[in-house]
Amino acid sequence: MSNLTRYDPFSMEPVSDLFQGLFRPMRSLLATEDTDLAAMKLDVTESDQAYTVKAELPGLDKKDIDVKIDGNVVSIHAKVERNTELKEGERVIRRERYSGAFARSFSLASDIDESKASAQYQDGVLALTLPKKAPAEQKRLQIE
């Protein structure tokens, strides 16, 4: 029996090092705490009357968060701007800036009553209370 070996063009050391080096900046960017916001964690619960949504958005101001409701679709948008500066005496040793925006949209099984919906933001958690719209009564047509 002969052994078959699958050809992998990236298995050669110089080539794989090239591609690993190419994506290294992205990996370090993804590892920062700021981009953890892009993976916004949501908890959605449902009762007979309403949905409750809790979204983790640590370190944001409530003015930077925007929530939109369109029928049964809920969209959460947020902007992040961070500036940090580390000084030693009068010399700036390090200055870092981060700016970004992210969004998350999802649909629910029932339409939302926008007029009764509410949102609170406390301790990095956005809490939405989304009452369900009352089902419209069926109209019976008279056949002439």
Q: Which 3-state string (H, E, C) describes the chain? A: CCCCCCCCCCCCHHHHHHHHHHHHHHHHHHCCCHHHHHHCCEEEEECCCEEEEEEECCCCCHHHEEEEEECCEEEEEEEEEEEEEEEECCEEEEEEEEEEEEEEEEECCCCECHHHCEEEEECCEEEEEEEECCCCCCCCCCCC
Q: What is residue 137's predicted lDDT score, i.e. its pLDDT?
A: 77
Of the segments 21-25, 45-49, 80-84, 135-139, which one has the largest average pLDDT value?
Answer: 45-49
Output the CATH code of domain 40-131. Answer: 2.60.40.790
Name the pLDDT band for 83 (thresholds 50, 70, 90): confident
Per-domain residue ranges of the chain: 9-35, 40-131
For 27, half-sphere exposure in the C-beta direction (CA atoms, 13 angstrom radius) is 6
Could you tell me the pTM of the whole model?
0.63
Segment of 11-25, 38-52, 82-96, 111-125 carrying the highest mean pLDDT: 111-125
- How confident is the model over 7-15, as a mean pLDDT? 57
How much is the pLDDT for 68?
A: 95
